[in-house]
A and B are shown apart, each in its own frame.
Chain A
Amino acid sequence: MAAELPGPDPKSLWKDQEQEAESMTLERIHFLVRRYDGRVRFSIAAMAVILVLVGLLGGQAWIKAHDTVMRVWAILFVFGEVAVCVLAYRIVFPQRDPAEPAGAYLRRRLQIRLGYAEGRWLMVIAPLAPFMLLSVYVDLTRRPGPLGARLASLGVFVAALLIAGLRSRRRIPKLKAQITELDGLLGG
């Protein structure tokens, strides 16, 4: 470790830094905003295309359905996918106040991360759960082939969910500690 060196006042040291880059021009800002808005429009268009495809696939499944179970399967698929798209849109494009006090904003962001670490991300795919459960039922009771192979694919899916959940939970203690500290700073 190097020895501590006596130096100038940290505030002077900080403020006397040379400017690293040219000032941002309005043209540059407008360009970046247009580019961002273009990406947003693309994302919304992509989501609309996905919803149309879901509708087509659901309609096709409904037409081909021979019994009530498969009709319910088609309905659950369409409604599940639409709900997931709505939830995903709200997550990707959240409403927010750009000038929220910085401590409160940071706490809110940490709380969101904590929620996901605790498994709230499952809520995003929760609307598809009835469809997936019915799919498993149909797969196990109606599809041909050895039962072991069908159970194996289900096992891989469940294992992947468990691993993702356990990995995200490792972040929980640090996130909770940061939120607790911020609560103390905000509430005092």
Chain B
Amino acid sequence: MSGTTGHERGDDKVPKGRSEQDQRYLAAAAEFGPALDRLARGYEADADLRRDLRQDIHTELWRSLARFDGRCSLRTWVYRVAHNTAASHVLKHRGKSAFVGVEELDAVRADDDPEQDVMERDARQRLLALIQTLKPADRQLTLLYLEDLDAAAMAEVTGLSTGAIAVKIHRIKAALAARFNPGGDDGR
């Protein structure tokens, strides 16, 4: 574990034995493992750092499940833990990269960047590059939108108001539509 959030203390006492914690983790990983992999891709472009982030997310998830108290659904819990771990990772490893909001993506498009031209040959790479450019708050919502969560579920994961989420999602859809389906629908 790279220690992205690992140095943060939590009460890791296992309530009913480690086997129950293991079973909870296995169930969560079976259901959300692929989504967590995609989330790690959305947050980290560098392959080595992404491997560390992935390990951190899974380890934090395993640790956190000792404290899973049913205050929210397992899906909400998993996404919260994963996004929190990833946010810490981004804040720690951001270096000199400047993130932008969904509203500012047009300015990024106008840049004449040869590397960007190469990346744009592949739609998936374009999508990843776009996500990795976003500020953490916008990135959270974009990733949750792409994972098909509705506004209420997003509000539960992020704690943001549903009204604010609706506005943001509208902008995210417009930005995605402009890149992947110009002249078509709004990216739904």
Task: Give A contacts to B, CB under 8 Å.
Answer: 1-2, 4-11, 13-15, 17, 19-21, 23-24, 26, 28-29, 32-33, 35-36, 39-40, 92-106, 109-110, 113, 178, 181-182, 184-188
In-complex Cβ contact of A101 among B7, B101, B110, B158 (8 A) = B158
A24 to B158, CA, bound (A): 25
Q: In this assembly, does B121 line the interface, its C-beta being within 8 Å of a C-beta of chain A?
A: yes
Q: Given A1-B116, A2-B120, A102-B84, A186 and B159 touching (CB < 8 A)?
A: yes
Contact B88 A109 (CB under 8 A): yes
Task: Give B contacts to A, CB under 8 Å.
Answer: 1, 3, 6-10, 22, 25-26, 29, 33-34, 37-38, 41, 50-51, 54-55, 58-60, 62-64, 67-68, 71-72, 76-77, 79-81, 83-84, 87-88, 91, 101, 109-113, 116-117, 120-121, 123-124, 127, 135-137, 140, 145-148, 156-161, 163-165, 168, 176, 178-184, 187-188
Inside 8 A of B6's CB, which chain A residues have their CB? 36
Inside 8 A of B55's CB, which chain A residues have their CB? 24, 28, 32
Inside 8 A of A103's CB, which chain B residues have their CB? 137, 140, 158-160
A10 to B59, CA, bound (A): 29
Contact A102 B116 (CB under 8 A): no
Inside 8 A of B164's CB, which chain A residues have their CB? 184-186, 188
Contact B180 A102 (CB under 8 A): no
Contact B77 A99 (CB under 8 A): yes
- Which residue on chain B has the smallest CB distance to residue A20? B37
Q: From residue B84, how far is it (CB to closest CB) to chain A in Å?
A: 4
A99 to B74, CA, bound (A): 10
Task: List 7 interface pairs A-B (beta carbons < 8 Å), by A numbering.
Answer: A7-B180, A24-B55, A103-B137, A110-B91, A182-B137, A185-B137, A185-B161
Q: Given A6-B181, A29-B58, A98 and B25 touching (CB < 8 A)?
A: no
Contact B1 A1 (CB under 8 A): no
Q: From residue B45, how far is it (CB to closest CB) to chain A in Å?
A: 12
Inside 8 A of B113's CB, which chain A residues have their CB? 1
A36 to B85, CA, bound (A): 15
Contact B123 A5 (CB under 8 A): yes
Q: Given A13-B127, A36-B59, A19 and B161 touching (CB < 8 A)?
A: no
Inside 8 A of B111's CB, which chain A residues have their CB? 1
A92 to B9, CA, bound (A): 9
Contact A33 B136 (CB under 8 A): no
- Which residue on chain A has the smallest CB distance to residue B179? A4
In-complex Cβ contact of B163 among A6, A14, A106, A188 (8 A) = A188
Contact B87 A19 (CB under 8 A): no
A181 to B182, CA, bound (A): 29
- Which residue on chain B has the smallest CB distance to residue A17? B38
Inside 8 A of A182's CB, which chain B residues have their CB? 137
Q: From residue B108, how far is it (CB to closest CB) to chain A in Å?
A: 10
Nearest first, the 5 closest Cβ-Cβ pairs linking A and B are: A101-B159, A98-B64, A102-B83, A103-B158, A14-B146
